[in-house]
Each structure stands twice: as C-alpha cells, then as structure tokens.
Amino acid sequence: MKDRTEKAQDVLEKLSKLHYDRIQGYHRAKEDTEDTDLLALFSFYEQQSRQFKSDLNSEIIKYGGEVPDDNSFMGDIHQAWMDLKAAVTGKDRDSVLSSCEFGEQTIVGAYEDVLKYDEDDTRLPEALESTLRKQLEELQAAKSRIATLHAHAD
C-alpha cells in the first residue's frame, strides 16, 4: 500500500496531465467555432485549467515530486481529446459541444475516482483533499454548463 505522500504525488500528476489535456481540448474547440458565446466560455475553461494545473503542480513540488514537462503528457486522455477532434466532422455547435462534454465527463470522473475511498485505501492529506474537492465543484459546474448548452444546441 502506498503512503500518503506517494499517493498524493500520483494523484497530482494524473490530474495535472488531465488539465493539460483539457487546455489542449478547449484550445482546439475554439478553433472549431465562430460562436462568440462559446469562444468566451472555452477561453474561460482553458484559463481555469491553466490555474488548476498550476495549483496542482505547486502541490506536486510540495509533496516532493517533479513536475513533468507538458510534452510528456501524451497519455490516454490526451489521445481521447485528439480522437474527438478527428471525429468532429463539421464545426457545428452540436459537434463542438459534444466533444467538450466528453472531455468534461472524463475529468470530472477522474476527480471523483481519486476522491472516493475504500476502507483499505490510503487517504490523501486533508488539505490536498480539500483543494481537489474545490476544483471538482468548479469542474462539475463546467460539465453541467456544457451539457446544458449541448442539450439546447440546434
């Protein structure tokens, strides 16, 4: 079983990578729309992930880890974002929002996974868990906003 510090490092690196993927996903989504409301929203979410990633990277250092270069963030989620980009056959509002909704579901699910525990699990340090829960709340709001926009896309 991992100790709290090792678990914190692993969780932080995973979530930092997801934010890199989210930043890239929203950057691409902005290229695929001309809708001013979506451009503003996607810019906001891109900046939100930059801030969250920065916060997580500070925590990685705090727990004795090393912040990897962004170029090393080519994991499964990044590939999923890229696959979604390729799957968007048009640049219509519905397709762009569908891709974003998938990305939001992915990152929210990852946060929920790292914050749920079995009785045998090593718990994260309390301060870190609090930080992650606050980020999760904002990500859940983003997921809800994107889902609502997607449901009303015509």
User: What's the rounded mean pLDDT across residues 108-119?
Assistant: 90
pLDDT band for position 99 (cuts 50, 70, 90): confident
pLDDT, residue 83, reads: 58
pLDDT, residue 41, reads: 98
pLDDT, residue 72, reads: 46
pTM of the model: 0.87
Is the pLDDT reported for residue 149 higher than 50?
yes
Is the pLDDT reported for residue 55 higher than 60?
yes
pLDDT, residue 153, reads: 82
- Can you give the three-state secondary structure of the chain, one letter per residue? CCCHHHHHHHHHHHHHHHHHHHHHHHHHHHHCCCCHHHHHHHHHHHHHHHHHHHHHHHHHHHCCCCCCCHHHCCCHHHHHHHHHHHHCCCCCHHHHHHHHHHHHHHHHHHHHHHHCCCCCCCCCCHHHHHHHHHHHHHHHHHHHHHHHHHHCCC
Is the pLDDT reported for residue 81 higher than 70?
no
Is the pLDDT reported for residue 87 higher than 80?
no
Sorted by where each starts, the structural domains of the chain and their CATH numbers stand as 4-151 (1.20.1260.10)
